[in-house]
Amino acid sequence: MTLKMTPKAVIIGSLAILATITFLMVYWPYATRDETPSNIFRFRSPEEAAGRDIYIANGCVYCHSQSIRTIDWGHGAERIAQAGDYVGDRPILLGSERTGVDLSQEGGEHPDDWHIAHFVNPRYTRPNSIMPLFAFLGEKNLHTLTRYVQGLGFKEADHRMQRQLYWKQEAIKAYESGPVANVKWLADHVPAGWRQVPNPYPTTEAGLARGHMIYQQFCLGCHGPIGDGMGPAQPYLYPPPLNFTILHGREISGGILYYQIMNGITGTAMPYFKRELESQKIWEVGNYVAVYFINQSDANQEPRGIDSSWEP
Amino acid sequence: MDSSATSATLTNRTARAFCLTSAGWMVMATLMGLAGATELIAPDLSHNIGWLVFGRVRPIHVNLVLFGFVTPGLLASAFYFLPRLLQTEIYSERLGLITVWLWNITLLAAVISLASGFSQGREYAELIWPVDLLVVACFGLVCYNLFMTVKRRREPLLYVSVWYVCAAVILTSVTYCIGNVIWQPNSGALVGIPDAIILWFYGHNIFGLLLTPLAIAVAYYVIPTAIRSPLYSHTLSLIGFWSLLVVYTHIGTHHLLQVPVPTWLKVIAIVDSIAMVIPVMVFLINIWYTAKGKLGEIHADIGAKFVFTGTIMYFFVSIQGSIMALPQVQRVTHFNNWVVGHAHIGVLGFAAMIALGGLYFIIPRITGRPLYSRFLADLQYWLVLIGVVGFTVVLTTVGLIQGNAWLNGETVYRVLPEIHLYYVLRASLGFLIFSSAIIGFYNIIRSLLSQSGAKA
């Protein structure tokens, strides 16, 4: 080896290598970048941009990615991220870890009041969440932050938000017309087939225990530990969470409960759980609600067809 | 390579000041890590105290580890061994002390700004523009002082450690400016996908062009000195140095394999990530062959023991890193705690182990007395080692649970209860590391500042 390592060789040599590689790996992709917006892209409103600043200041990016991949199943997975989604982002907030959910398509997944309750204490709406409390930001900032979150997904978020706002008005109308009309309104929106589908899970002790566990992890924050709709999130939500104890004698079948848990009630804080919970879990949390709070269950009634082999 | 004639006249004031800086900020940096880990198991802990929320604590932890604990620790050794390798004094110890003061002011500004919610929101490049300027000024002063020292050397040949230190400080001065998009004071960012590319180019260079070359420089000094043997191969030193600079700078995009960035960029990043085996193994073969048959002497010197352990961690983290760059592996490992585990083996297991080793190696030689307590130094060694190995096991396990559950269609929320216990273990291990930082701080203060050393 005859290469002489003089100070000049070390410093000029290192800088030359860095300059070359910076040109190739940073400048070239920059120079050839495609700034074409994707089909869902739109610019952010000033309020959404202000909300984004709050998001950055509090380090939300360390737990929430905004980068949907082809292998993802969680919410937002219907729209894989494209380079054109990010053409307005300075800085880009892809994130590097998913301690919480990806937020690329968060806009319109929930109504505004759900988000406020969630920011005040994330465990109000999501009992297992490990997100910090953000009530310290103050009401004004929480609303600004909510505008940003509700715009994530751009045009698709706007579409979902319109649907939220429409059904929120309908749900409020139904709620304000009294419990009887409200329960009827809710049940009438369940397709007939679902209302009559036989409930296939028996209310065994083990099944109710499993339902109890699901209830605690997903439902408790709004509907409360005794199912009266007085969970800690209740003061923030309108229309308020349903009080299950008024449902006795109102022909609430297991199929109705199943459908409402599966699909949620858009416009209200009731989310859909069909991504989160598989079939058995939905039936069994429905059975738990029916047995303990409504005190009326159609579980495992005739006709049952051929009993499945594990049935008691 | 050590000349007692010059050693006796050296004051090492800058090296001492960097020792104290590193040991002090290690306490704060690990405390922030422990706070973050605890919030993941007790999320109400920050109860509406804004500066304590996880999203603010995490960047404080990361920036303090990188720029408060590990970099000053490695620079302390550099300011110690450069005069000895170059047979001269540091160009200006006074300028060195001013640099250390400015460095500490910068760190304080970083903590206060991040805690108050002033962040540019880009990982490893969070610091706002005025603090960025302070960081660049610190590196600029270090560059100037060290290059002038090199210029005034009396030893014509530059030892390999000198190459690495010079390259590290000048290249980091440059990549810090590039990565922080310093020509955009308000945002410190580009727009869209190019911002992600430049960010991870920089993010990876913090390891590749700062921590790794500085740590390698310390290892190249400490191991041969401790065992009083020449380096195994000058040729391997050369290959290792130039290949590190060429290969490491290519691989930042392996953070973006699942993101819509140009495919050719991903291909280069993956290929060079595998090629990282070359600079890594060339260095390790060189240092391990140098140490061959002399592990007893390494074991006898607590500083060398830390450093040698750091080289073993370098092996693990680098091979793991090459494997993690494979797209099929990333399907499971990306976005979860596997990567956090990887980062801790690299920064704590490799770079920080060597930084601490450097401190314990140079302090007795600076003071002319044994360490205040060899026992406490050994205790810190074991606490850090158990901590980092524990992190590796726990976080890798969590990563596999998360990654496989997500691939299986479970949502992030569903997986939270499954990993809670591991988060408890992680915080417990974090407590070990925080305890070790307090022990180390005490030991280093007593060793450097008290007049009477323990009798050997």
> B8 pLDDT band (50/70/90 cuts)?
low
> Is residue A10 assigned to a domain?
no
Query: Among all chains, which residue has been given the structure tokens 């005190």?
Result: A295
In this predicted structure, what is the pLDDT of residue B4? 46
Which 3-state string (H, E, C) describes chain B? CCCHHHHCCCCCHHHHHHHHHHHHHHHHHHHHHHHHHHHHHCHHHHCCCHHHCHHHHHHHHHHHHHHHHHHHHHHHHHHHHHHHHHCCCCCCHHHHHHHHHHHHHHHHHHHHHHHCCCCCCCCCCCCCHHHHHHHHHHHHHHHHHHHHHHHCCCCCCCCHHHHHHHHHHHHHHHHHHHHCCCCCCCCCCCCCHHHHHHHHHHHHHHHHHHHHHHHHHHHHHHHHHHHCCCCCCHHHHHHHHHHHHHHHCCCHHHHHCCCCCCHHHHHHHHHHHHHCHHHHHHHHHHHHHHHCCCHHHHHHCHHHHHHHHHHHHHHHHHHHHHHHCCHHHHHHHCCCHHHHHHHHHHHHHHHHHHHHHHHHHHHHHHHCCCCCCHHHHHHHHHHHHHHHHHHHHHHHHHHHHHHHHHHCCCCHHHHHHHHHHHHHHHHHHHHHHHHHHHHHHHHHHHHHHCCCCCCC
Q: Which of A1, A90, A100 sits opposite B234 (nearest CB)?
A: A1
Retrieve residue A264's tokens. Answer: 């949620």
- For residue B234, which residues of chain A lie inside 8 Å, CB to CB? 1
What is the number of structural domains in chain A?
2
Q: Give backbone dihedrals phi and psi of B272, rounded to 5 degrees, phi first.
A: -70, -30
Contact between A91 and B120 (Cβ < 8 Å): yes
Q: Note the pLDDT tens digit of each residue in A93-138.
A: 999 999 999 999 999 999 999 999 999 999 999 999 999 999 999 9
| CATH number of the domain enclosing A130 | 1.10.760.10
Q: A86: distance to nearest CA of chain B, Å? A: 5
> Is residue A266 assigned to a domain?
yes
**Residue B277 Cα to chain centre, angstroms:** 19
* A76 pLDDT above the threshold of 90: no
Q: Which residues 6+ apart lie within 8 Å of B314 measured at CB?
A: B215, B280, B283, B284, B350
In this predicted structure, what is the pLDDT of residue B452? 54
Are residue A221 and residue A247 in the same domain, yes or no? yes
> Is residue A35 assigned to a domain?
no
> Is residue A193 assigned to a domain?
yes
Q: Note the pLDDT tens digit of each residue in B102-144.
A: 999 999 999 999 999 999 999 999 999 999 999 999 999 999 9
> Is residue A152 assigned to a domain?
yes
Q: A173: distance to nearest CA of chain B, Å? A: 32
C-beta atoms of B194 and A30 within 8 A: yes
C-beta atoms of B55 and A63 within 8 A: yes
> Is residue A14 assigned to a domain?
no
- Give Cα separations from A6 to B75, B153, B224 (angstroms): 21, 12, 22
Cβ of A12: how many Cβ atoms within 10 Å?
A: 12
> Is residue A204 assigned to a domain?
yes
Domain ranges of chain B: 4-448
Query: Among all chains, which residue has been given the structure tokens 């993101």?
Result: B259
In this predicted structure, what is the pLDDT of residue A127? 97
- Per CATH, the homologous superfamily of domain B4-448 is Cytochrome c oxidase-like, subunit I domain (1.20.210.10)
Which domain does A186 fall in, by range?
Answer: 177-294
Share the mean pLDDT of chain B. 95
Q: Which of A3, A25, A96 sits opposite B255 (nearest CB)?
A: A96
C-beta atoms of A63 and B54 within 8 A: yes
> B451 pLDDT band (50/70/90 cuts)?
low
Q: Note the pLDDT tens digit of each residue in B182-214.
A: 999 999 999 999 999 999 999 999 999 999 999
Give the number of beta-carbon pairs within 8 Å between A and B. 232
C-beta atoms of B238 and A5 within 8 A: yes
In this predicted structure, what is the pLDDT of residue B99? 98
> Is residue A310 assigned to a domain?
no
C-beta atoms of A92 and B188 within 8 A: no
Long-range contacts of B141-144 (CB under 8 A, 24+ apart): B141/B95, B141/B98, B141/B99, B141/B102, B142/B75, B142/B99, B142/B169, B143/B169, B143/B170, B143/B173, B144/B91, B144/B95
Retrieve residue A10's tokens. Answer: 């070390």
In this predicted structure, what is the pLDDT of residue B453? 46
Q: What ipTM was assigned to the predicted interfaces of this complex? A: 0.95
> A312 pLDDT band (50/70/90 cuts)?
confident
* A303 pLDDT above the threshold of 90: no
Q: Name residues 266-285 of chain B within 8 A of A (Cβ).
A: 268
Are residue A74 and residue A117 in the same domain, yes or no? yes
Q: Note the pLDDT tens digit of each residue in A181-225.
A: 999 999 999 999 999 999 999 999 999 999 999 999 999 999 999
Q: Does B147 touch chain A (CB under 8 A)?
A: yes
